[in-house]
């Protein structure tokens, strides 16, 4: 297998990646149970929105503070602490569910704590990847890492739903806790990956990116591509009702397309090396994503929409892998955690807010013009990266 995926030649990366997959599947299982139980307890759609805000708002702010921690402390230790924290939260939820003391407020608090945990986990994990693979295999490692969320988003809800129906929420939370302990064991013996700075400041990643505009251009690609694909997914029920009339089955197939495409794209990209001209590769992938996703609202049949959504999602995944790899390649190690925090804020916070804004705007103007507008903005960010020749050279930490 390692002959096909260069990053898998490195045992430390295999442990980091496999542990991430196991824990991410457990997290997705837990998310299904939490959302289900919240609605069971409240019967309120508004409560589901509040739970989402409890997660999203911290993710738009905290990575600016927590990212620089990976530039000062032991990155592997930070990762172990985040896994231990999730295991503890899972145990608490399991006990609460088993004893009948689970409340909406506990679920809201858990969402905020999960955002706090991820705000530490994502920058530390990203910075640690560079420690466990050589530069030549970084693109392969980044590609495989991109499959973790997509694969878990496909497997976790299905497994979690079945276990929830068969054994109840307490067992789902308990299994998530076990998955965290498995990941924690996999992370033992990781290199310390210690940061280089004695002092860190709030917003170090944003200040650094402001001095090196190529990083801002790359962040813009991550923001617009993420908002575009999430926004299209959010608007699929509206599009289906207006044009394709596929019902719940058709909607389910369409929702599966981005996840399947992301996993396939990550596995294929992981077999190759980074493009010789990353700016051009990013621009081409972004243009392809914008064109195909902008065409989705005009698909005459559901099958055509599925094909467009699949190819558009593949292009988004490729653009994001190339972009994330380039961010890692040109970022000095002493600020890698701070820049990783900025990336986490962009992809896990603001992209979701952008998608929500698309849905609100589509309520008045309709899906097609809103998707087309965001697609055009997305294509423009790709062109700015192509125009920024500095994307092909490293930047200074100063």
The pLDDT of 176-192, averaged and rounded, is 89
Please, what is the angle between helix 336-345 and helix 204-211, to 10°?
100
Supply the pLDDT for residue 372: 94
Supply the pLDDT for residue 388: 58
Q: Compute the C-alpha angle 322/323/325, nearest 5°.
A: 65
Q: What is the DSSP string of 149-162?
A: HHHHHHHHHHHHHH
The pLDDT of 56-73, averaged and rounded, is 82
Q: What is the pLDDT of residues 311-325, one digit of tens each?
A: 999 999 999 989 988
Q: Check if the beta carbon of residue 318 is closer than 8 Å to that of residue 193.
A: no
The pLDDT of 209-236, averaged and rounded, is 86
Q: How confident is the model at residue 195 (pLDDT cuts 50, 70, 90)?
A: low
The pLDDT of 241-264, averaged and rounded, is 83
Higher pLDDT residue, 162 or 338? 162
Q: Tell me: pLDDT of 106 over 50.
A: yes
Task: Kindly state the percentage of the chain with pLDDT values over 90.
Answer: 38
Supply the pLDDT for residue 93: 98
Supply the pLDDT for residue 174: 98
Supply the pLDDT for residue 395: 46
Q: Compute the C-alpha angle 113/347/308, nearest 5°.
A: 130
Q: Check if the beta carbon of residue 125 is closer than 8 Å to that of residue 24.
A: no
The pLDDT of 169-177, averaged and rounded, is 97
Nearest-CA neighbor of 226 among 356, 347, 311, 52?
347
**CA separation for the pair 51, 39 (Å, rounded):** 11
Mean pLDDT computed over every residue of the chain = 86
User: Of 16-20, 126-130, 199-203, which range is least confident?
Assistant: 199-203
Q: Check if the beta carbon of residue 339 is closer than 8 Å to that of residue 351.
A: no
Q: What is the pLDDT of residues 356-391, one digit of tens each?
A: 788 888 888 888 999 999 999 999 999 888 765 544
Residues comprising the chain, all counted: 398
Q: Check if the beta carbon of residue 342 is closer than 8 Å to that of residue 67.
A: yes
Q: How confident is the model at residue 396 (pLDDT cuts 50, 70, 90)?
A: very low
Map out the domains of the chain with their CATH numbers: 6-186 (1.20.1250.20), 204-392 (1.20.1250.20)
At 130 the three-state DSSP class reads: helix
**CA separation for the pair 311, 295 (Å, rounded):** 11
Q: Tell me: pLDDT of 252 over 80.
A: no
Distances (CA, A) of 11 to 8, 74, 124, 181, 228: 7, 20, 19, 19, 36
The pLDDT of 53-62, averaged and rounded, is 86
Q: Tell me: pLDDT of 90 over 90.
A: yes
**CA separation for the pair 229, 150 (Å, rounded):** 13
Supply the pLDDT for residue 154: 80
DSSP count for the chain of H helices, then E strands: 15, 0
């Amino acid at each position: 297998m390692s002959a096909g995926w260069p990053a898998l030649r490195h045992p430390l990366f295999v442990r980091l990646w496999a542990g991430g997959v196991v824990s991410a599947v457990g997290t997705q299982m837990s998310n299904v149970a939490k959302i289900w139980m919240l609605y069971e307890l409240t019967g309120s759609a508004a409560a589901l929105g509040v739970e989402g805000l409890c997660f999203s708002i911290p993710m738009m702010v905290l990575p600016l503070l927590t990212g620089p921690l990976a530039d000062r402390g032991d990155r592997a230790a930070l990762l172990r602490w985040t896994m231990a924290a999730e295991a503890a939260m899972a145990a608490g939820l399991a006990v609460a569910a088993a004893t009948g003391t689970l409340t909406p407020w506990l679920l809201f608090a858990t969402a905020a704590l999960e955002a706090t945990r991820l705000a530490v986990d994502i920058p530390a994990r990203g910075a640690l990847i560079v420690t466990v693979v050589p530069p030549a295999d970084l693109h392969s490692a980044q590609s495989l890492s991109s499959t973790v969320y997509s694969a878990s988003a496909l497997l976790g809800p299905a497994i979690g739903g079945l276990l929830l129906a068969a054994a109840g929420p307490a067992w789902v939370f308990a299994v998530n806790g076990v998955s965290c302990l498995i990941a924690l064991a996999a992370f033992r013996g990781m290199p310390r990956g210690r940061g280089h700075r004695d002092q860190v400041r709030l917003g170090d990643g944003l200040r650094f990116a402001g001095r090196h505009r190529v990083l801002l251009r790359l962040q813009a690609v991550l923001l617009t591509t993420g908002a575009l694909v999430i926004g299209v997914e959010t608007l699929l029920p509206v599009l289906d009702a207006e044009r394709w009339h596929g019902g719940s089955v058709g909607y389910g197939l369409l929702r599966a397309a981005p996840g399947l495409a992301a996993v396939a794209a990550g596995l294929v990209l992981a077999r190759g090396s980074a493009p010789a001209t990353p700016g051009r590769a990013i621009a081409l992938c972004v243009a392809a994503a914008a064109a195909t996703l902008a065409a989705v609202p005009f698909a005459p049949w559901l099958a055509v929409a599925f094909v467009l959504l699949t190819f558009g999602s593949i292009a988004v995944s490729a653009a994001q892998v190339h972009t994330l790899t380039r961010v890692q390649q040109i970022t000095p190690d002493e600020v890698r955690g701070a820049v990783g925090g900025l990336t986490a804020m962009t992809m896990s916070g603001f992209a979701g807010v952008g998608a929500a804004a698309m849905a609100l705007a589509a309520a008045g103007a309709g899906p097609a013009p809103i998707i087309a507008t965001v697609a055009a903005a997305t294509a423009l960010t790709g062109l700015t990266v192509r125009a920024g020749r500095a994307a092909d050279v490293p930047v200074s930490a100063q």
